[in-house]
Structures are given as C-alpha cells and as structure tokens.
Structure 1
Amino acid sequence: MGERVDDGELERLADEAVDVLVWGLGSPSWTDWVAVRAEFVVWFARRGLDAYGQDLATFNGGRGTSPSMAQMALWRRQLLEGIRRSSNPMATDELRALIERFGPNALLAPKDGALLDTGRATSLPPLPEPTGGDHLDFRSGTFNGQFVGVQHVSNTYAAPLPGDAEPGPLDWPLAKDIEPRTHGVRPTRRVKGLPALPPHVRRDQDGTVNSALEQASSEGGLVVVLGPAYAGKSRTALAAMAQALPDHRVFAPAQHEDLRRLPALLRGRTERCVVWLDDLDDHLGPGGLEPRLLAQLTGLEAVVLATMREEAYEKYVGTSAKGRLLSLAQLVELPRVWGRAERRRAEETDDPRLTEAARESGPEGVATYLAIGPRLWTDWQLAPNRQRHPRAYALVRAAIDLARCGLKGPLPQDLLVKVHEGYGIVGLERESLEDAWEWAGRKRYGVLRTLRCDGGENGPFADVLPYFVHTAEQDETFPPVAEWVWGHALEVARAHPAAYDVENVAAGARASYLREAEAGNASAMHALGLLEESLGEREKAEFCFRQAAEAGQPGSAGRLGRLLVERGESREAEPFLELAAEAGDGDAATLLAKLLLERAEGWLRTGAEVGNPEAAHRLGDVLLGKGDVDEADEYYDYAASVGYTEVALSTGMWHLLHNRRERAEVWLERAAKDGSEQAGYLQRQSRRRPEPLANTVKYFSFTDGYPLDIAHHGVVLEKQGHLDEAREQYEKAHESGDSYGAYRLATLLEKQDKPDEATTWYRKAADMGHPAALKALAERAPTPDTVKE
C-alpha cells in the first residue's frame, strides 16, 4: 500500500479521478452526485487541502450539469497536488478506491466532460437490490425517451434473470457507430465548423490491425494494440474495428468491471460481439480478463480488442496469469513517431488541425501533439490562478505573441524577459525567473514542453510549442498582440535579418496598427507612423503623425514637427514641436529652440540694421556663441560706439578670448562697477596664474562618467612626453566609442614615422565619422601621378 508511482501514472490517475467527478457531479441521481462530492471533499481534507475541498463543495451538480474545461483542469491540478505530497503516501490508494467505487462505464464518461445518451431504454426486469449504498437501482423502472445510465456487469447476477427482457448484446452499440471520444480517444482543439475530432489518418500499422481483427472474427481471440502513451492506440484500434467488424456489437466495461458474467450473456446469441478494453491493464484484476475467461470468449467467437501501454506490457509480460494472457494475444505495435508517408496523409486531409500537427509535431508524433496540446494549453491558462506561476505564464504569453508577430523559431530568452514584464500580470515578484523557466520548460505528461529552452552561442533561447501559437491565432477571444509587442518584434527582426523575415513582421505590424487606428486608437496610429517612417514612406508617416497629433498624441506632434522641418516648413512645425516640448520631449524642445534661435538671429539683424544698439549687442552674443567671432566684434563695436553701456561684459569676454587681458580688464571693470557679478568673477579668473600642466593631467585622469576625457587625458600625457601612456588612453577612448581617440593615435603614430599604422588608425576614426580623419585619408589617397611613379 502507498507504493510510489511515476509522474505519468500520477497524471493518468488524476485524469481518471476527474472523469469520475465529471460523471458523478452530473449524475441524474441526487444521491450519487452528493456522495461523489462528499467523498472527494473528505479526500482533500485528509491531504490538508481544505481550501480545495471547500471549492469543490460549492459546485452544485445534478442532471445536466457539465463542468467547464477550466474547472476540470483545476480539479486535475488540485488532485495532482494532493497525491504528490510526500507526507501522504496513502493518497494514491485512497484515490484509486474512490475511482473504483464511483467510476462510471467508460461509454458514459467522455473525456470532454459531456455525458452522452446511450439510446432508448426498454422495460427491464427487476434485479436484487445492490448491497452497497453507492448506487441506485434503475432497472425496475420504465423510461420514456433518452436516458443516461451506467451498466455494470457483476457476478452477483450470475443466475438467469427473470422477466422477458435481459440486458445484453442487443443493447450494445454497433462498432461502426462507436463515438471515439467516449471510448478512450482524447479530445483535441475544437475548430468552429469542424467535427469534434479530426478524421482518422491511416497509420502504417492499420492493415496489420485489420488483418488481426478479421482473423479474430472467425476464430475469436485477443488483439492488443501496443505502444507508448499518446501514440494514438485507441483511435487506431477503434478505426480498425469500425472497418473490419462494422456490424459487431461492442461491450465497453468500466475500469475494473467484473467480466465473468460475459460468457453467460453471449451464450446462445447470434449477434457477433467485440469486447473493448481500453488500457488492458485496468481490466486484469479480480474479475477481469484472464486466460480461462478469454478461452470462454474465444469459444463463443467473441473478439477482445484492447490497447496497452508499453510500460504496462513490460511489467506484466512473462509473469503469472497476466503474462500468460498477454502471450495469447496478437500484438500490433504502434510507434509514437509518425513516418513520412503518415505525415503526408495527414497533410492531405482538409482538417487544419491535422495539417498543422503533421507540419509542427516533432518526434513526439501527430497523435501526441493533438492530444496533449489542449491539456498544456489549459494548464498554462490556469497558471496565474492563486498566484501559481504568474511569471511563467507571462513568459509563455510573450513567446506566443512574438511568434504571432512573425518571429518564428527560437527566441532569445532575454527578449522574452523584457517583453513579459509589460503585460501587467499580478504577482510576478512572487515567482523567480529560475522557477518560471523551470515550470515553462518542464516536460509534461512525459512527452511535451510548453517552452523548449536551450543554450546558444549568443545566449539562451526558448521556443514555444507551435500548438499554442495556432490556438491563439484561431481563438477569437484571445487578446490581439499589443502594439508595444509589435515594436519589440520589429526591433529584433531588423537587428537579425538573417534569422527573421523583416518584411513579414512589418506587414503584420502594419495590419495590426491600421486595424487599431481605424478603431480610434491614437497610440496605434502613432506606431503606424513610426513604422511607415522606418520604411521610408514619409508621406504616409506624416499623415499618421498628423492624425495622432490632432488626437492628442504629443509624441506624434514631435515626429510631425521634425518631418516638417526637414521638408523646409519650419513655421508650420513650430506649434507641433511646442506641444511635444511641453509634454517633456527633449528632442522636440531642442529642435524648437534652434528654430527660434534662427528666427531670433534674423530679427536681431533687422533691428541692428536700423541702428538699435540692444539688437546689435544681442546679435553679437548669438554670433559669438556660434563661433562667428569677427562678426560678433562688429556688432559689439557698433553698440559701444553709440554709448550702449550694457555691451561692456560681452566686449570684455571677447577680448579675453583673444588673450588681450589689459583691454578685457578695462571693459570688465566697467561692467563690474555697473553691477555685473559675472564681470567680477571673470576679472578674478583672468588675474590667476596659468595652471601647471601637472594639474591638467590630474584633472583629466578622473574619467569615470566622462568618456570624452579619456582622449583628453591622452592629449596632456602626450604633451608631457609620456607617449606609451598616451597611446593606451587613445586606444581606450576608441574602444569606448570616441572617434577622437582613434584620430589622436593616428596623428601620434604619424609623428613617430609609422605611416602604415597611422593610416590604419585614420581609417578607424574615419569609419566612425571623424571629419579630420576623413580629410587626412583624402589627402593620403594616391593620385594618378603617384600611382604611375
């Protein structure tokens, strides 16, 4: 008791328990659904999971009740948590007991949670009251119309039943009418307008299964389709049964149902029958299939068709009665991996789920992709609930959205980290990145991962399961890709054009932005403008920016202003730039200031030309700031000539620039006495002795936070004659991105008579756009005459 089992078995056990909950809580019998709910609430309480039990206790069952897929997935997660707790080793045994006690006939417990009608009932003879209190007898009643019920075969009723009607083969469905989902085939993604399940795709082993069934039809016997989990065993076996034995009646007992009464039911009947035992190992216990019972069924020419997982076969083969039974079976092995011909047949169907699975599924196979994809999707959608794995949820969401943007294939993990924080998922801080990657990248159900994480030369990558991308694309309720995610996608695609289709990503972004913009989203219109501008569509970009700016987007106002300035329409640009500047756009504010300064210079010239001394003074300041020193002097001189005393400070500064200290002192003295604090400060500074070169070296040696001073430090070292140290600083400056460092090193090498090495460094500086380096290379370019020489 309490034996440890692997994760695959635990997940399977949880699936069976959920099936029991779905059947029990939807039972037409009030007694049944109350009992099922109460027992599972107690089971949770024994695990210390009272909150889960309370949640279940609030679910009201009864006739017609169908839990949602999300509710079923939540129950499954809670059940798994309960049976995985190391402090409760008896949990699995107790859960199996509940399954055996309440388990419905598989025919009435479809995996998508919907109870199915079995047909029209006839008047059945009364049976002795069952000894247990778990079930209610419905056989004594007459039911009109369709009904839902569970038929159990038990050796309790070994004697012939009284009455004129006895349940048996006539009540069982025909093989050609079997509904696969109610007989072990797992549901896949529902697609509007398509059947619940894709059509069966012929496997390479189908012919072998058909032949085995045809032989068993004439002789009786056991046929077992053997393979790993999620290989498509049930679908293959049922399809073969429908084709080879279409008019056989099918008996599908519940797990652990007592089968010993079957021979009595079949004896004397003319109907040919098939006993369907999905997961054969669940039917090998007491009262289950064993060699003597198989011999009886074979004598009655009944066919027993079963599926079995490889691990179960390996466990039982060669051991006791169970092993002897397997030695009597015709085994057909069905691999999980689909061959090339099988994939081609899937691609040739009209069902998009099959074509997608054939294209996207790897070695796990098409059937696995179709069966496990929906489970992983539900598990992922429930990940943020109760603050479980919110960060993992967001990482997967980022991978899905980026793939929807056109970034197919592996994505850099740092990109997913950057994007996932933008969704605003509550509780990210409660889960570490390490835990989130582990959960998202964990192999689930023993076969598939939501994210496949791997390392790489440029850093770790992650690839989302394609099923998630296709499901998100086809789910009308799934949120569209946000514009900021498209921005990240475009940035990455442009940075890695060899890895991603930039044109495809841009086309998708344009369509998304346009759709949102037409719905009145000004932010999307701004994003569309940025995209059009990046693609060189300036007129379209200007239109988008204007629309967004008029809708109140300051960022668009700034972009529109810049485009207008570049087109020569500065006056029209100014109000848009001002709007953006007032919203904190530094680039727009700077551009607006430059425009206004140019206009100011023009008006100051007008004022100076008509003899206004203040205009002449201010114009001189503008020109001095631009470096037009001589022209500035002309306007300062005019202002002084007409007695405009406010020009004294500017004139004194002009003389200081020309190292005319005595003249500067005279003008600065006047300005200081007129109350100019700046003039007094400049007087004091001009009277100081020249700073020693050593102090200058010390000043430039502290370069932290001042990248330009790295090259400046090299300059003063070079002046001191420390050429090797100067070279180190120039190289360091170049490495930090300062082209001046490369240029200074080139001039140093030229002074050291190293022309080839100097040329190399001139070229490095020129490649970084340094004007003096470009000029030096042009002067060094060989002329036709020097080439001839």
Structure 2
Amino acid sequence: MSTRSREARLLYEQLRALEQQAREARRRAGLRYSRREVIQALAKPPYGRRVGDQRISDWVPTSDKEPKVPSDRSSDDVLALVRLWSSWAGESVNERHWRNLLEQAQPVRVLRTMPAGPGRPVREFTDPFTLEVHEAIDGGGASGLPLLPLYVERQHDRWLADVVNGLVARSAGQPVGVLAVLVGESSTGKTRACWEALNLLPPDWRLVLPLVPSPAEALIAALAEITPRTALWLDEIHRFLSGDRGEQAAAHLREVLNDPRRGPLLVLGTTWPGLWADLVKPRKDGDRGDTHAQARALLTGKHYRVPDAFEDTDMPELRRLATADPRLKEALEQGKSGRITQYLAGGRALIDRYETATALQRALIESAMDVRRLGHDIPLPRILLEASIRHYLSADQYDLVADGDIEHALAELSEPRRGTRGPLTPVTFREPGGPRVLTDDVRLADYLDQHGRKERRTKAPPAGLWDALVDHAARDSFIALAEAARDRGHLRVALRLLAAGVEAGVPGAAVAAAQFLEEEGRPDDALLWCLPLAEAGDVAAMGRVAGLMEATRPDVAVAWHRKAAEAGEGYGWLYAGMLLRRAGELLEAEVCLRRAADAGVHGGHAELAHLLQQAGRTEEALVHLQQEAEASGGYAVVETAALMRERGDSGLTVLAWLLPRAAEEGRKDGGGIPWVEHALFRHLAMDALLRSRLRSLVDEEGQDDAFRRELTALLDFVEELAKGDLREKDTNTPEALRQHGRLAEALVLYRKEADTGRRDAVVHVAALHEQLGRTSEALAWYQRAAEGGDPEVFPQIARLMSAAEGPDETFDWLKSCADRHGEKGYPDQRSAVAELLRIAGRTDEALAWLRRASRTGDPYAWRQYAELLEAAGRMEDAQCMRRYGWEPYGEISKPWSAAPPAVQRLGHVRTAGD
C-alpha cells in the first residue's frame, strides 16, 4: 500500500470511528440514528451544508467498497460532518487535526524543494494554545464545540488577510518580506487573528516561534538561518525588540525583510498600545541617545489598531454565529459595550475570582498588580510575592498565615476555570523535544494586569513593597522600577534599586544611576558611578562622564567625547566639536564636526555649517546646511533658505529648493513644527517681486481653478505677513467688536469659533458672559476651558464658584479636574490649584493632596510639593525635599549617601551634603 493510500485509509478509519461514537451516544440517549437524520441535521444551522447520502457513503461506505478521498471542494462538507458527529458523541473538535488528515489524504502535489530552515511546517501547529491564543470560556459545559469559538471576521482580519494573501500571491516570482503587527489592549483578539491568518498560508510554509534563551536572542539566532516561505511568530513583539539586544534584533529583522534571497517571509506580531508607543515614539531634539531607533524604523507604518470592542458592523455576523456557539451567545449577552473577546478570554471570570478571593489570595493578586504597574517584567519571582503579602494583609491576617498556606493559595490561583487560565499561573518553558520545566516565577493574567492598572491607579503601593522589590525583584526590572520610584519622589529608594541592579550585573544600571543623579543636580555623585565604567571601556559611561564634565572641565569632557566616538558612539564627535568651537579651537572643532557629519549624526552637518559660516566660508557652509536640511528637515531648512538669500540667489531659485522640502514635510506629517512651511511663508513675504510673478500665474489661461484658488489664498496670506499683521483689519472680527463695546455680537462670533474647536475662544466666551453680568454662564464656560486643559482660568473659577457654592465645593471640583489632567501627564493645573489653596490659607490641605498624587505616580507632584513649601516660607523643608525626596510612607527623607555600593563598602562614604 502506498503512503498516500495509507493516509487516505487513516482518514476513513477515523471518520468511521467518529460516526460509530455518534451512533452509540444517540442510542444511549434513546435517540434514533440514521444517515437520513445526519443529512437533515447538516442542512440546519450552524452547519448549513447540503450533503446527500451518496456523498457520505463515498467517504464512509457501509459496505466493503473502497472509500473515496474527499476533494478539496468537499473539505468543508467533511468538516461539517465531523462537527455534527462530534457534537452527538459529546467530543470536542480539533479542526486543525482534521484539516491535516484531509490534506494528507489528497493526491501528492509537487512542491518546490528548498533547504529546511528553522521552525516546523505550519500545518503541524494544531494547538492554538501553544502560540498563546487565549483559551475561551467553556459555554456552560456544552459538548461538541470546536477548540476555539466560531470566528467573526472584522476589519483588522481583512487587513491582515490582504497582507498575507498579497505576500503569497507574489511569492512565486517576486520574493518579499512583510511585517504586520496588530496593536490592541489585552484580550481584544490580536493573537487569535494572527492564528486565523496562518490558515491562509500554503502547507509548505514553516512557522518559527523564537523564545529561548530570550526572545531577542532567539530571534537573532533564527534570522541567521531563516529560509524562504517562513512565518515568524512574534506575539508580544515588544519582548523581542526591547532590552539589551532589542535594537540588534530589530536591525537584523530589517535587514532580512529587505533581503530578496530570504523572501517570501511573513512576520506576525502583536503588542499593547502603550508598549507600541514606546517603541515608535520619535527621538526628541536634545536626546543624547535613541534607544529605539532601529525598532522605530522597522515598525513605523506596519501596524493595525484592533478596537477594544466589536463595531456595529460586526454585530450581525456575531449574532448569526451566536446561534450555533453557546460561548458567543453568552459573550453577546454578558459582555458589556461590545467587549466580546475580553469576555470570551475569561476576563469576567478572572474579575470574579479576584473579587471573591480569600484575603491571602487577594493579597497575592494585588501585590502582583502593583509590582507590574510599577514596571516589573511579566515573569514575577514567587519569592517577591511571598515577601510582599504582609503589606497587603492586616497584622492579624498575616499572623494567621500558616506554613503551606501560600503554596496552597498559589496552587488554587493557578487552576483554570471555565476554560481559561487562573489569575496567577506558573511560568514554564520547554526545550525542543524536552519535558516542560517549572520555574520559580509566576505570571499575572493579562486581563487582571490591565484591570489593576486602571482600578489601582489612584492607590499608593504599600511602603514596604519597595523594600521587597529591592531584595527580590528580577534583575532585568531594576531600572524600570527605579524610574517608577523616582517618579514618586522616592529618590533614596530609586538609587537603592539601581544599586541592586549594579550588584546583580544589570547592563546600564550604573549609567542610569549616574544620569539620575546628574538630573537631580548631583554631578559629583554621578561621576562616582560612571567613571569606573568609562575607564573600563563602557561607551555609554564615557558619554555620561563627558556630559558631567562639560560645565567644569570642558577640556576633559572633549577627551571623553572623543574616546566614546572612537569606540563607536558617533554623537561623541558632535559634542566634542561643539565644545571645541565654544572654546574657540576652531580647527580641532572642524575636524570633529566633519567626523560627525561623515558618520551621519543628526545635527552634524548643521553644526559644521555654523562653524564654517562663523569663519566666513559661506559657500562651504551652504553645502552642509543643505545636506542637513535635505536629510533631516527641521530648522536647517529655514537657515538654508536664509543663507541662499544672503548669498544672492534669486527668489525663484530659493523657491525651487523649498518646494520639494515642503512636499516631503507634507508626506511625513509628524506633528512637529512645520519649519518648511515657515521658511516658505517667510521667503515669499520677503520677496515682493516673486509674489508679483506668482500673481501673474493666477491670470494665465488654462490654469486649474483649484490651483488658482489655492495660490491666491497663499499669496493673500503672505501679503498680510509681509505687512507684519495677520489679523483682519475690518471691524467685524470678534476682538474688534469687543473693543468697540459690541459685546453681544462679539459673543456670537466667539461662540462659533469655540464650537469649531478653537480653545482660546472658550475663554473669550466666558469673559464676555462675565462682562455681560451672566455669572452662571461665565462659570460654565470657564469650567469648559479648564476641562480642555487650560490652567489659567482656575482663579476665575475659584472666584465665581466660591461665591455661588462655597470654597469646599469649589476646591473639590478644582482638585478633581486637576487630578484628571494629571493622570494624562499635564501637571500645570495641579500647580495652579495648590497655589490657590495656599493663598486661601489651606496650605496643609494642598500639601496632603500633592503628597497623595505623588505617591500614586504623578511624576511632577513631588516637585510641586517642594515649590509649595518654598512659597509657604518653609525653605529648609523645600531644599531637603528637592535633594532627598521623600519616603514611601510620606515623610521627607533624611540625608542619605549617594555613593555607589563599592565606595560604601570601602568606607569612603560621603553624605550628600559634604
């Protein structure tokens, strides 16, 4: 018997066995079984397949005749038959297993040969849970359900299908690599969508899941051996592109995706929105480093946002499938606001378990929630949670915890319920071909992780938790945890965490400590941390030492910048050149700046141009300014246009150079300052002859009407700019009407502007209402301005609201508004409210409010606290607060040493005040 015949026989035998199970189950239940009943059941929902007895008899003959192999076109009918028989037999359906059986039973197809690369054939991945697809609720224990709920295709699925199908269709003659990342909150269906997309790949494709020894290292290793027709599975892609080797992994992946010899290659990824933003946020001017340059270049434009909830357009198909799948029916009925996938993934069940947990179980969960929101990596050391629970229990509760109770509680929390994992589950790994290995780490369920971030965002972590983190946090989390401590003003704790990182050998911990101390105004202490590393050859430390010495020892700083540059940090040439130029050593500065420009360092050409211009070498300066402007845009465009005019270039020549830059800036649309637009307007405003020549184009025959309108509007705008006044000069502007006492008319116009989104118009409407004696309307508009983020209206709100409702209600409203904006990263309102409270004689109330805001994570509140102390005349406390921060329990810290651990052990300990 041939191999293919054996595979066809295997399909037949398994179909025959499944039918027999269905027949016996029906008989035990007192129900009849016949092929006629099978045909009738297949014709009804959820199957909807018209399959005759002849077809079933071909695949599963009742006599001894040889069964026929189902054709490709019949595969869906066979799968429907499998689902029906499984349902009657009370069995779950492994659809990937049956699809593989059907495919293997088909006549042999000739596939192109290729060297075997990493991974396994995609058809061998039959268990979605091995790829971290969330297990779903069990639908009340209904039998015969597929492994995963029936799938509702949504807009992100169609986008992903276009990506995959496009790649597969081009693969025969045009190898290419494609990256597609789904970005969405926890349990919104990202990983399931990627799983469904795998079904679109031909069976000869391979799937690679790089994880060991670490995601980034595994990815780098896999990319070295990758072969065409491979899919890379990068679920939670931030794990692969962050950390010490994340940038190296991103660079390698970019290279492979652009290598035609490696294609076709599909890379599927998922991540959360906040983590995506961290990877793609642009480098800011003044940043000394760019921690995610390669990741940003790799990822930008390669994602699709998965919505948190089902859209209205998705609901009809969801309702249709819910009639056939009780899990979907339950999620449709119970999932709030269209959050279907979250409910299916067990979100509600997890919340129920958390809310009904024992005191000990709840302490374990909440400590995990707090540790995660403070920045700890996903694997949580079990000993860390055990050391933390005492701070989440009362003294009496903790005294009652007996030996074995914690282990028992963790075991219960790891148990799956209703088809989904428990709140806290052990972290395991498995080497290829080896047994599953249990680690000493646990993982908090994603849904509870996000629930904790939202529900506990206003709760200060227990003071004792910070000590537990210093003693037991995972080594790779120390730097992130130190940043969280610093945000809360716990400066001593932040340095202890960084010291623990240094002691544990965490790369970058000492440099992070030096940067922290430098930014807190302690450069001498910072030098103690990074100088030994710099002398040992650490490039980042060299740059930090150089930066620390720029103000006091610029000659030494130049030497260190040069060392860093020679070691591969191109920005060292730029900083050395700038310092040398400032010192008047122009020849040496030119050498360094040329090295920076040659290395492609951002700002290198511009700084070199400034030096050359200073030396009167205008032509050379212009060449480099143009290179900077054409490569990076920005203010260099304005400077280039000005220098071209200074050189005597005609207006048309400058305009011809500016227009391509304007088109490029329009395509980028990055939300920054539109410097090209500024340069273009300025150039036109300075050249009346050029404007006149452009006006003549408006009157030429054959010009497009839209072109005429746009050019006319542009020139009218620039004419006003040239006059130095862009404000309309007629008397019908709202401001003109207001100045002439026509307040009601001005109010109408300002309201129209406010309704179109102009923020300053809201304040004008409020002020006009107040002028007209309409106090309540004025207050409502001032409050609207405050809700829009304007802190300058708080005194007006305090004045009007206090008179109407009293000071307590007023300050409650103001603090609530400021808290909401503080959570979004806008601190100015808190400062304004604190100052109003001080003026009202309620300084202690303001301090308590700021202290609470700081302990819950507002990175600005502890500095505002120091400012308020100073304004209240408590200078010594203010100075101590700025220098030492405060303790997690809420008191200003006593002086503490900032010396690194090695110095303290040697006994050369200086207090920060020495």
TM-score normalized with structure 1 length: 0.33
TM-score normalized with structure 2 length: 0.29
